Structure 1
Amino acid sequence: MTNLIAPTLSDIRTAAKRIEGAVIRTPTLMSRTLSEIIGAEVWLKFENLQFTAAYKERGALNKLLQLTPEERARGVIAASAGNHAQAVAYHGKRLGIPVTIVMPLFTPTMKVTQTEGHGARVILFGDAVDDSFARARAMEAAESLVFVHAFDDPKVIAGQGTIALEMLEDAPDLDLLVIPIGGGGLISGVATAAKAIRPAIEVIGVEADLYPSMKNVVQGGKRAVGGDTLAEGIAVKEPGVLTRQIISALVDDIRLVAEKDIEHAVALLVAIEKTVVEGAGAAGLAAMLAEPERYKGRKVGTILCGGNIDTHLLANVLVRELVRSGRIARLRIALQDRPGALAAATRIFHECSVNILEVHHHRIFTHLPAKDTMIEVQCEARDEAGIARLIESLEAAQFTVERISFD
């Protein structure tokens, strides 16, 4: 892999012509509300609107279209837990190319089903993508298949770089790009095109705080890598060899974002832009929200690079956002265990116009006297001030109240 040659702006422009009409030219739009929140002019590239809901189609298709007839007949293989798998499977089916995808055993059923729905043969193997990668490489040799790397391939990188061409056509005055980094294919292509068109443009990469693998390699860090992240699309332990060379040369900085900031960004995009974005796709916005002073007054573009998030997980993120904003709270209230005590407390909820969502009694596992009980109430108000008024009213009525937080 070390002898791979980085793509040029010419390669990226050729890739754009090659894939034109087969992928969606997604919009690049300025968000007025996010711009006000961050204090910058914020432009969003909606790659979550691709057919498979991710930018990966660009690089996969550019690679597949350059296979020889003999290679097409033999078929291709890839290792992926999500977006790359669906991109290769979808365009492979369109082009009549047999596709095999090796996915980790833990891959959500929805992603396996979607990949199979595009006609791919799916092999479940290993606990992590690294295991699947090794198995795919072994099958590549054993079955004479063509391996389609998710990021460390010049043709794949060139395909991803077509995003920058579109962004700078739609928003030519951008002076800063904030791009998620997993294996590095997206930012490598985008930085190559953007820096060639506008040498003064700044490019900042973003990794999940739990997966600082590229930052470690490029900037000489030794942070631990691993853990459960909402941004599983950029949760890569070993970044590309070619991509790290391109990033070292062209990317100005790499920032890390915490899980709470990624969650906040996903929720804001639903609330403000009415668009569903997965954790990896929201990483660029998360970086801006975490350090708004860094971007103040700039014309900033970021890529919503994917929208494949489990619906149940999205629901959890949205509810947790309501908790963080203060609209939903869980209160622990001490009561005397006698008739009317609960009614007296709930009457105050009614008077304060706070809705009760759940109530749980705790009589045994509590430090209160045996004649008392503890209730936990999950409730929702119009805003943080509503919850504060409720707690004040409960305490004024001689109830002992504790607010439970998960932060």
Structure 2
Amino acid sequence: MGIELENEQSLEEGLSLEKFEEASEIVKQVTLETKLVFSEYLSTQTGNKVYLKPENMQLTGAYKLRGAYYKISTLTDEERAKGLITASAGNHAQGVAYAAKAYGTKAVIVMPTTTPLMKVNRTKGYGAEVVLYGDVYDEACAKAYELADENGYTFIHPFDDLMVATGQGTIAMEIVKELPLVDYILVPIGGGGLATGVATLAKLLNPKIKVIGVEPAGANCMQRSLEEGHVVTLPKVSTIADGTAVKTPGSKLLPYIQKNLDGIITVEDHELVVSFLDMVENHKTVVENSGLLTVAALKHLDVKGKKVVAILSGGNMDVTTMSSVVQQGLIMRDRVFTVSMLLPDKPGELYKVSGIIAKANGNVVELEHNQFVTTNRNAAVELRITMEAFGTEHKEQIMKSLEEGGYKPRLVNVGG
């Protein structure tokens, strides 16, 4: 009993209400006001009153600026003067770079060589020195520690740092002030810094608030750690949510997660693809895959009539990834599909097929005519047509029209 009490007091001292209040005032110096956005669409879909916390609209495109700036504010002048260093593939890199610039301090950011050029250039744009090293975050992080030792830099960890977590937790302060009767807060989890800060402060402000973490199914390191009761390192991660593709959660954070988090939902990649389309079409906003975890998790939340806040953690997505996600989303929604069929190699057949599609209000996007599918061209040639439809019902209507026209269309590439 004495040990439990001691641990409880230790947790309270680590992330105290006083520190959260201090951090909330300090981060205002560099953050934009991201007021809650009520989502009529998501509310109708889920039967709850859904609000979005748009941290994708922050200056650096993500919430990470909060933790980085507050952490740097707690350093001594001597620690800042040594220069700062961190490892990141994107959002934390930009947060540290921006915060360091605000303090007039040198920042060195080690990024994996696979980091999209857009994120590298944005980080450089905030005045940081970028070092490209390794193929994954873990290799870049090891290099950052090596450079810190060699040059005496002060290391700013992306998540496994209580002051960083305190800065991230200021989001909960804003949510509760704006929506005092909030019932649920959904928060993405990578290493656990955001979830630790938000869950801890939410419980300090109102123990009745339920905080649910959301992880990619292919990178559920925190879920596994909670199940095992200690930090678990995944053998590998596989997810399009690169910002939360973490093998090992923060060891300093796990006790807070164990105490304050009310559960974890895991989301498959295909759910993120559909959520991206929902956000673009219904809210006219771009949210990166990691930030969409909470949106995808809404349908897994088994409650009705509750006030639910989904934190959109970031919006830094390169155009190439965006294009790919949109395309996959359209395919999954049956708004783009491809059919293959055999038809006689004689004049007028292509005209006939296109007429059937046009009459059914289908729109041809791409057409491939393969005359070498059989040795007997007079018998058949293959025609592949990619077209747009309004959805599943319309797609089936086009398929039926082709069948009634005497053809046997076969769906290909369904789901990408």
8 Å Cα contact 1:210-1:225 kept in structure 2: no
Q: Structure 1 counterpart of 2:244, which letter?
A: I
Q: Secondary structure at the match of 1:295?
A: coil
Distance 2:152 2:116 in 1: 28
Give, in angstroms, the shift of residue 228 of structure 1. Answer: 4.0
Distance 1:376 1:237 in 2: 42
Deviates more, 1:111-120 or 1:368-377: 368-377
Distance 2:90 2:29 in 1: 23
Task: Map 1:60-75 to 2 at 5 A.
Answer: 60-75=68-83
Deviation string 1:293-316 (CA, Å, 9 cap, x unpaired) is x13222111110100011121122
Instruction: Kindly indicate whether residue 188 of structure 2 is the aligned counterpart of residue 180 of structure 1.
Output: yes
Task: Map 1:85-124 to 2 at 5 A.
Answer: 85-124=93-132
Following TM superposition, where does structure 1 have runs of at least 4 consecutive aligned residues deviating by more than 6 angstroms? 367-370
Give, in angstroms, the shift of residue 227 of structure 1. Answer: 4.4
8 Å Cα contact 1:52-1:86 kept in structure 2: yes
Task: Map 1:183-332 to 2 at 5 A.
Answer: 183-220=191-228, 226-289=236-299, 291-292=300-301, 294-332=302-340
Closer/same/farther in 2, CA of residues 333 and 161 from structure 1, 3 Å limit: same
Q: Structure 1 counterpart of 2:357, which letter?
A: F
Give, in angstroms, the shift of residue 224 of structure 1. Answer: 5.7
Give, in angstroms, the shift of residue 338 of structure 1. Answer: 1.4
Give, in angstroms, the shift of residue 110 of structure 1. Answer: 1.0
8 Å Cα contact 1:331-1:403 kept in structure 2: yes
8 Å Cα contact 1:230-1:263 kept in structure 2: no
Q: Structure 1 counterpart of 2:415, which letter?
A: F
Instruction: Kindly indicate whether residue 167 of structure 2 is the aligned counterpart of residue 159 of structure 1.
Output: yes
8 Å Cα contact 2:162-2:253 kept in structure 1: no
- State how many pairs are aligned: 404
Q: Structure 1 counterpart of 2:92, which letter?
A: H
* Structure 1 length-normalised TM: 0.95
Q: Secondary structure at the match of 1:390?
A: helix
Distance 1:66 1:224 in 2: 32
Percent of matched pairs sharing the same residue: 37
Give, in angstroms, the shift of residue 391 of structure 1. Answer: 1.2
The match for 2:415 is: 406
Q: Structure 2 counterpart of 1:202, which letter?
A: K
The match for 1:352 is: 360
Deviation string 1:147-191 (CA, Å, 9 cap, x unpaired) is 001111111111001000000111111111111100000010001
Deviation string 1:76-101 (CA, Å, 9 cap, x unpaired) is 00000000000100111121100000
8 Å Cα contact 1:205-1:253 kept in structure 2: yes
The match for 1:22 is: 30
Q: Structure 2 counterpart of 1:302, which letter?
A: A
RMSD: 2.0
Distance 1:367 1:63 in 2: 70
Distance 2:102 2:375 in 1: 65
Deviation string 1:122-142 (CA, Å, 9 cap, x unpaired) is 111111111111111111111
The match for 2:403 is: 395
8 Å Cα contact 2:371-2:377 kept in structure 1: no
8 Å Cα contact 1:6-1:242 kept in structure 2: no
Task: Map 1:345-384 to 2 at 5 A.
Answer: 345-365=353-373, 371-384=379-392
Closer/same/farther in 2, CA of residues 362 and 174 from structure 1, 3 Å limit: same
Q: Structure 2 counterpart of 1:406, which letter?
A: G
Give, in angstroms, the shift of residue 364 of structure 1. Answer: 2.8
Give, in angstroms, the shift of residue 365 of structure 1. Answer: 4.4
Deviates more, 1:241-250 or 1:369-378: 369-378
Unaligned 5+ runs, structure 1: none
8 Å Cα contact 2:368-2:384 kept in structure 1: yes
Give, in angstroms, the shift of residue 199 of structure 1. Answer: 0.5
Closer/same/farther in 2, CA of residues 223 and 7 from structure 1, 3 Å limit: closer
Q: Secondary structure at the match of 2:291?
A: helix
Q: Secondary structure at the match of 1:399?
A: coil
Q: Secondary structure at the match of 2:121?
A: helix
